Every structure is written in C-alpha cells, then in structure tokens.
Chain A
Amino acid sequence: MSDIKIGTEIPSLNLPPISRATLALYAGASGDHNPIHIDSDFAKKAGMPDVFAHGMLSMAYLGRMLTDWKPQSQMRKFSNRFASMTQLQDVITCGGKVVEIFEENGERRARLEIFAAKRDGIQTLVGEAIIALEEKKAAV
C-alpha cells in the first residue's frame, strides 16, 4: 500500500456505449423511473433531443472504478457534480488520481480527483473521493 502517493493514477474503467436498454435496466434496478430517461416522447416534450442517461448511472460507474481499486469498506466519502449530460451511444470512461494523502480519524487516507468523460474528452462528472489506505475491518 505504501506505493500509493500523490499522482498515483486509479486504473480507468471503460464502459460500453450507453443504450436505451442500459437506461431501462438502470431505471428498473434503481427505482428512478423519471420518464425523461426512458420515454423518448416525454423527453422530447421536455425539450430534450431524446432520452439521456441518469447522472446516477455514471456515478455508479465511478463507484465501480473505486471499488475495483480498494475495498468498499475503505471508502469514506464519494461526491461529484454532474457537469454535462450523457447521451445515447456516448462511450464513458472513468478515471482519477491521488491528489493528497493525509491522516484523519487515526488512519491514512487518500483524496482522489475523479471524473467521467466522453470520447471527445468532455467531462460529464467531476468529483472527489476519500479512501482509507489500510484495511480496518473493525470499521465494517
């Protein structure tokens, strides 16, 4: 674990293109039935070109990147803003890097800058995570 330092990159997560099926499945599983994500007619009436992805779907992808990197029991904080919309067929990549290492509550923690971006480089989510660097099973 001591190999983690400021600048360490989190292994990126590459997602398949966003499809209508992806959004339907996420709507059902998450309980977010907002029709703007699954009903094209509704989305167009609301002034959108078509349905677009739930922001929380991309945040869940960012979460996958984080739990692939460190056990979820070491996750302390996870936040992002939704910077731009993710449209159908967009291909999302999640990435991040360590920007600070500090002590808090008796443990070493890393602060990560994290993002989700489209192929053209436009960021859709920009956020931060705080991850404990040692396992502390008692905290589970």
Chain B
Amino acid sequence: MLDRSKVSHEFASFSTDVEKGRLKFFAKAIGEKNSLYSDELVARAAGYKNIPALPTFPFVLDLEGPEFWPVLDLLDMDIGRVLHGSQEFEYLGMIYAGDTITVTSVLKDMFDKKGGALEFIVMESSYTNQHGELVSKAVNTLVYRTP
C-alpha cells in the first residue's frame, strides 16, 4: 500500500512562463483551428488580453516544475502503473500568453477500492498569475494499479 502519511504533503511551488509558441503548439496538437488560439490580433479583437491558454492548459503547467510528476517519487510509484482517474478545473480568470503562473499543489487525499487493487491519489492545485490573481484551480485524481 502507498504511504498514507503523505496526505497533506505540499509540493514545492514553482513559477513558469506561458509562452506564445507553446500555446500555439498545444492548440495544434489538439486540432484546435480557431485562430483566437494562435493569433494575438484575433484574440485581442475578441476581447482577450492576449492569446488565451486553452481550458486544459493548467494541467500542462503542472508538468513544468523542476521535477516531472514529483508525486511519483513521493509515493515511490512506478509510472507504468499510474492512470488518470479524473480531472476538474475551476476558472476564476484567464491565463494568457506572456503570463507567469505560480503553481502550488497539495496531496489532498488517498483511498483505495477493489480490496486495495486500486489506490486513488487526489491532488489539488492552484494557479496564480504575476498580478497575484488566482486564475484557476484544479483537482487531479490518479489511480494506481497496485503491483
């Protein structure tokens, strides 16, 4: 069983730049063709401050920290056994190209199902921009297939 004493662990927060090229690459990778997501002029004409980060982009920011998925090390998990169980986003503002976002995450909960065959790891994250505005919150539940 994974180490339940790690519940409430706060991951090291980090700041990351939201680069325009990255937003355009992400839009291309998901087949998003609306030029609002690749052309700053179109974005501004639509009332946005700059090219907006697409709705699931906060999850991309999660992966921009100094260590890829620090929860793997924290709980000594094999990446090949990790599945994504669920994901929630709440939007309090927008994330734009040119922003610097500070990501903070905490290990909120752990529980198991199917007699311990599956363990669930719940993490909560928040995303704050360079103006100190909380722009988004997320809840990410991972599922671990117990060896």
Judge whether B4 is part of the interface by a CB distance below 8 angstroms: no
Q: Point out the residues of chain A lying under 8 angstroms from B80, CB to CB.
A: 35-36, 42-43, 45-47
Evaluate contact between B49 and A76: CB separation under 8 angstroms: no
| Chain B interface, >50% SS class | mixed
Evaluate contact between A79 and B30: CB separation under 8 angstroms: no
Evaluate contact between A36 and B79: CB separation under 8 angstroms: yes
Evaluate contact between A34 and B94: CB separation under 8 angstroms: no
Q: Which of A2-10, A63-71, A115-123 contacts B (4 or more CB under 8 A)?
A: A63-71
CA distance A30 to B84 in the complex (A): 15
Given known pairs A26-B29, A29-B28, the reply for A80 and B55 (CB within 8 Å) is: no
B81, B88, B93 interface centre (most CB from chain A within 10 Å): B88
In chain B, positions 58-73 with a C-beta closer than 8 Å to chain A are 59-60, 63-64, 68-69
Judge whether B111 is part of the interface by a CB distance below 8 angstroms: no
Q: How many pairs of A and B residues are in contact by the CB < 8 Å rule?
A: 116
Q: Point out the residues of chain A lying under 8 angstroms from B8, CB to CB.
A: none
Judge whether A107 is part of the interface by a CB distance below 8 angstroms: no
| Chain A interface, >50% SS class | helix
Q: Point out the residues of chain A lying under 8 angstroms from B32, CB to CB.
A: 60, 64
Judge whether B34 is part of the interface by a CB distance below 8 angstroms: yes
Question: Which partner residue on chain B sits nearest A23 by CB separation?
Answer: B29
Given known pairs A28-B25, A30-B29, A42-B80, the reply for A56 and B59 (CB within 8 Å) is: yes
11 A-B pairs (CB sep. < 8 Å): A15-B31, A42-B80, A46-B80, A46-B81, A54-B84, A60-B55, A63-B55, A71-B46, A75-B55, A137-B47, A139-B93
7 closest cross-chain pairs (CB), A and B:
A46-B80, A29-B29, A79-B88, A81-B86, A63-B55, A31-B63, A55-B84
